[in-house]
Amino acid sequence: MKSGVPKSEESGDLVIGSLGERAVANPLHKPPHMYVTDEQKVTVYSSSEDLLPYFQRNEMPPMFERAGPREEIFFNPSELTCGIVTCGGLCPGLNDVIRTIVLSLHWQYGVQKVLGFRYGYAGLSSRAQLEPMTLTPQTVDSIQHEAGTIIGSSRGDREVGDMISALRKHNIGALFVVGGDGTFSGAHELSQEIARRKLPIAVVGVPKTIDNDIFCSERTFGFSTAVEEARHAVAAAHTEAKAAWNGVGLVKLMGRDSGFIAANATLANSDVNYCLIPEAPFSMEGAGGMLEHLEQRLARKHHAVIVVAEGAGQHLFKESGPVGHDASGNMKYKDIGLFLKENLKRHFQNKNIPLILKYIDPSYTIRGCPANADDSAFCLMLGQNAVHAAMAGKTDMFISYWNHHFTHVPFQAAAGKRKKIDTCGTLWQTLLATTEQCDFIQCPVDHK
């Protein structure tokens, strides 16, 4: 299977939600040449191996609906109130997304009122009693230079009925939900209940995962910035490692289920010698294990750099009992960074080999950065397309990106799935060839 490519049985039958007939002319200033129809589709396939079977059966491959402004829209902008909520951990670009949604609603469509619900779904709960912020072009004028999210975020549960009460209380017609797959599963429930009650409220998602692992989108905002910042931590680890006799720099990077940040930071700093990710189990002990390999490398070179994604090596903890869940419902992982740090120290101490290990965990300094230029431009397009979708009455869906096109994807298509590194693909195979760590990484089944 190609990584991240939805099979037809997985997403083909899911339908983009719609609030109903569109009867309002799009007020976009000097209508540009970008009006898109619901019939325009984007293929997710890219090579002859992908396409051949479809040609043989003479049927079009699965495709996503293209995002963009529709010539007719559902809402009357002058009567519409919109809401924005940001959920989960911080990610570079959140303020860019908020700003773009506000500016696009205001300048492109003429929507007069936008509210920012505070601290994630908590701001939509009756218990918390948090007043939403009013967001105007003035409020958001230069927030893109600040990291974080000006409306706050949180992890945690939500009660759908409670949320609908809050939306109705504030007369919200379109709610923009910026978050990850946990957040989207809540947004799906909310959309379903709205549909059941036949309310004219659109729920449109902007995917946020610093790990870049949302299913059905080849890219998410903040990831490029995260790799750039991760690189500084990796460079520091290399500096510390080289400066010591038998120096080892160990960096733990984000990546609960998918090692994209770790792998890309490794390719960007080819001084990394070992890169450990959740998708590629590895052995520590024994002949051919990582410890032996590291021992041999130190004997030869006297320094090494290890990058580990936070979700890597969970198989090494298997015996140690059940794990808990955090407030977002994510399984709490064992700390592979500290595990490696302690195991390395113990191993070399037992063998009486000097080891100077420096451990770096840059997590929040990465999450707490403003977006780089790539991500800022990407956030602008994501945010505008989310606004176009909501104005057109699309609901129960999020904006994704495929083959240079922004697309619409139903929330459910991404539910419970994650994009992962294809360990037989170019990214990981290039990394293996560059780091030469393949001895102790379990190789995937040869599928040729």
CA–CA gap between residue 436 and residue 433 (Å, rounded):
5
Number of residues that bind its own copies (CB under 8 A): 115
Q: Which helix (H) or strand (E) holds 98?
A: helix 94-103
Phi, psi of 206 (to 5 degrees): -120, 115
CA–CA gap between residue 87 and residue 164 (Å, rounded):
17
Q: Counting contacts by CB under 8 A, is residue 66 touching its own copies?
A: yes
- By CB under 8 A, name the one of 125, 144, 183, 412 that touches its own copies: 144
Give residue 445's identity as a one-letter amino acid code.
V
| Shortest distance (Å) from residue 86 CB to its own copies | 8
Q: What angle do CA 234, 238, 239 make, to 5 degrees?
A: 115
| Shortest distance (Å) from residue 313 CB to its own copies | 21
- Contact track, its own copies, 192-211, x by CB under 8 A: --------------------
| Shortest distance (Å) from residue 377 CB to its own copies | 4
Q: In the window 293-332, what residues touch its own copies (CB under 8 A)?
A: none
Sign of the Cα torsion 347, 313, 367, 221 reads: positive
Q: What angle do CA 371, 375, 379 make, to 5 degrees?
A: 105
Instruction: Confirm whether 211 is a catalytic residue.
Output: yes
CA–CA gap between residue 418 and residue 258 (Å, rounded):
8
Per the structure block, which two tokens stand in for 367?
Answer: 């999450």
**Nearer of residues 66 and 113 to its own copies, judged by Cβ:** 66
Q: Counting contacts by CB under 8 A, is residue 276 touching its own copies?
A: no
Per the structure block, which two tokens stand in for 287?
Answer: 């002949």
- By CB under 8 A, name the one of 14, 16, 42, 177 that touches its own copies: 42
Contact between 312 and 277 (Cβ < 8 Å): yes
CA–CA gap between residue 191 and residue 169 (Å, rounded):
17
Q: Counting contacts by CB under 8 A, is residue 58 touching its own copies?
A: yes
Contact between 195 and 371 (Cβ < 8 Å): no
Q: Counting contacts by CB under 8 A, is residue 125 touching its own copies?
A: no
Q: Counting contacts by CB under 8 A, is residue 429 touching its own copies?
A: yes
Beta strand ranges found along 361-420 (DSSP E): 394-395, 397-402, 405-410
Give residue 46's identity as a one-letter amino acid code.
S
**Nearer of residues 69 and 186 to its own copies, judged by Cβ:** 69
Give residue 338's identity as a one-letter amino acid code.
L
Catalytic residue among 181, 211, 213, 375: 211
Q: In the window 405-424, what residues touch its own copies (CB under 8 A)?
A: 405-406, 423-424
- By CB under 8 A, name the one of 6, 11, 26, 45 that touches its own copies: 45
**Nearer of residues 81 and 434 to its own copies, judged by Cβ:** 434
Closest CA to 276 of 307, 233, 316, 248: 307
Q: Counting contacts by CB under 8 A, is residue 147 touching its own copies?
A: yes
| Shortest distance (Å) from residue 195 CB to its own copies | 28
Q: Counting contacts by CB under 8 A, is residue 267 touching its own copies?
A: yes
Q: Counting contacts by CB under 8 A, is residue 258 touching its own copies?
A: no
Q: Counting contacts by CB under 8 A, is residue 220 touching its own copies?
A: no
Q: In the window 349-408, what residues touch its own copies (CB under 8 A)?
A: 356, 358-362, 364-365, 367-369, 372-374, 376-377, 380-381, 384, 402-406
Residues carrying an active site annotation: 211
